[in-house]
Amino acid sequence: MDDSSVVRRPAGPLTDLDDWESAHGPSPHSDSASVQGEFRDYRTNVRPGVIEFYRLNHKFQTLDFVLEKKREYLARTKRTMSIWQAMEFLNTLVDNSDPDTDLSQIEHLMQCAEAIRADGHPRWMILTGLIHDLGKILCLFDEPQWAVVGDTFPVGCRYSEKIVFPEFFVENPDSHVAEYQTQCGIYSEHCGLDQVQLSWGHDEYLYHVVKDYLPAESLAMIRYHSFYPAHREGEYRHLMTESDVAMLEWVRRFNPYDLYSKGHDRPDVGALTTFYQDLIAEFFPPMLSW
Ligand SMILES: [Fe+2]
Ligand SMILES: [Fe+2]
């Protein structure tokens, strides 16, 4: 049976796959006093499902888990699909949230891309907005939510206190491995983020699918868009090269389009299809290995 017609729900405690983003609160760099107050209190307002999601994520994302998932997925033997087919495949993933007010996965992607386009950014960045969450098809390969979304963080070294819900790391077996709990852990200082194993999820997966076709700035946006401890909190500089630091500026530039384009008008997917299919064809071959 063609499983692109089967609607599936992501397995895990989140009612909406993007709910984990509510744990961030407003940007800590905002200078508005009320926003700062809200930021301090955000944890008391987070839904129980989000807290449970982070408990599972922090408990199970070990170095061994990340390496195992990389062995499984980076061989890219799951499927052969075009970018457009992957968008349609992702759209079969349906959350428990209200379909009248919440956007489908394709709508989120197009809304993000349209906001980037409206601000006059280059075509590669519009395309980045369009595809940045396609790695969420991991849910359709039956990965649980905690192995697909959520803030990412380095494994194999000490956890930053600025990762959301850092107290949940006591349940992670790696927190009891002395070698993994020094500041650099298994890495050397300024080794470069490319050498660092981040918790596994949709960002890293998509990066490997598309890495031969997009400029470095775009690839940084895709690979690190959930790495909030670095791009929002400024942590883990001791593992970065100068070029990583420069690339994170691009990730920061991308982030508002991902977070705050939600809630704008619903994009007219039909009317935008030709524009986006042309844009995809400009950068990608007809078929990709997933
Ligand atoms: Fe994402
Ligand atoms: Fe997104």
Which two three-digit tokens encode residue 187? Answer: 């890495």
- The confidence score (pLDDT) of residue 31 equals 42
For the chain, percent of residues with pLDDT exceeding 90: 76
pLDDT digits (tens, 9 = 90+) for 195-222: 999 999 999 999 999 999 999 999 999 9
Q: Is residue 23 predicted with pLDDT exceeding 50?
A: yes
Above pLDDT 70, what percent of the chain? 88
Alpha helices in 31-104 (DSSP H): 33-45, 48-60, 63-73, 83-90
Beta bridge partners of 154: 198
Helix (H, G, I), strand (E, B) or coil at 288: strand
For ligand 1, the distance from its centroid to the CA atom of residue 266, given in whole angstroms, is 19
DSSP string, 163-176: SSSGGGGGGSGGGG
Q: What is the DSSP letter of 93?
A: B
> In angstroms, what is the span from residue 47 Cα to ligand 1's centroid?
19
Question: Would you say 192 and 241 are in contact if contact means Cβ atoms under 8 Å apart?
Answer: yes
User: Full-prediction pTM beyond 0.75?
Assistant: yes
Could you list which residues have their CB under 5 Å from ion ligand 1?
Answer: 133
| Structural domains present in the chain | 61-289 (1.10.3210)
Average pLDDT over residues 72-84: 98
Tell me the mean pLDDT in the region 154-180.
Answer: 97
Rounded Cα–Cα distance for residues 112 and 142 (Å): 26
Task: Find the 257 Cα to ligand 1 centroid distance in Å.
Answer: 11
Cβ atoms of residues 231 and 252 within 8 Å: yes
pLDDT of residue 97: 60
Residue 207: nearest ligand to its CA? 1
Q: How many CB atoms lie within 10 A of CB 271?
A: 8
